[in-house]
């Protein structure tokens, strides 16, 4: 397999409904590249840079999503974009820098500009049974009193593994 480093694809090429190649350029020299292919796998990263404040790489611009969409692909599960809620927003000199998970481990909490614990809002129904509903229950999770975890239907193997880890 050939690897083409620092190559940006700007368009997927189609023959009817079928993708048959890609057109791009080498970032270092600007040389155009034409790739013919029997099949295409897009492994282009995410789209975290679509957000104003983010710690995602500068390359996470959503180009792969756009390439697929413009070639006719149906984009599914777009609600599962990676979101990391602990990024700096002030002062401007550190905007976008990731705050370590240790801050929350030491008791830090996430609040929006209204002072509300927003991470408890809008949890999809299929995840509600395994997440905290409120601050008190969230605190119990951090202390090892997992009231909701006990309600999950884990396999005996997972239950046994979890029990041995607690010991």
Q: Annotated active-site positions, please?
A: 84, 104
First-to-last C-alpha distance (Å) of the chain: 48
The runs of H, that is alpha helices, within 21-145 are: 63-70, 101-105, 125-128, 135-143
Query: Looking up tokens 């997440």, which residue turns up?
Result: 131
C-alpha 63/C-alpha 45 separation (Å) is 9
Report the 10 Å Cβ neighbour count for 9: 19
């Amino acid at each position: 397999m050939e690897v083409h480093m620092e190559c940006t694809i700007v368009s997927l090429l189609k023959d009817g409904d079928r993708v048959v190649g890609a057109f791009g350029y080498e970032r270092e020299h600007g040389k155009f590249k034409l790739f013919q292919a029997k099949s295409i796998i897009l492994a282009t990263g995410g789209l975290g840079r679509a957000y104003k404040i983010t710690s995602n790489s500068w390359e996470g611009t959503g180009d792969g999503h756009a390439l697929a969409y413009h070639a006719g692909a149906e984009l599914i599960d777009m609600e599962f974009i990676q979101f990391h809620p602990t990024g700096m927003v002030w002062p401007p000199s550190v905007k976008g820098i990731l705050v370590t998970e240790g801050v929350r481990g030491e008791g830090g909490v996430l609040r929006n500009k209204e002072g509300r614990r927003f991470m408890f809002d809008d949890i999809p129904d299929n995840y509600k049974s395994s997440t905290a509903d409120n601050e008190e229950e969230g605190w119990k999770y951090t202390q090892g009193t997992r009231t909701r975890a006990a309600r999950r239907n884990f396999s005996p193997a997972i239950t046994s593994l979890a029990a041995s880890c607690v010991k």
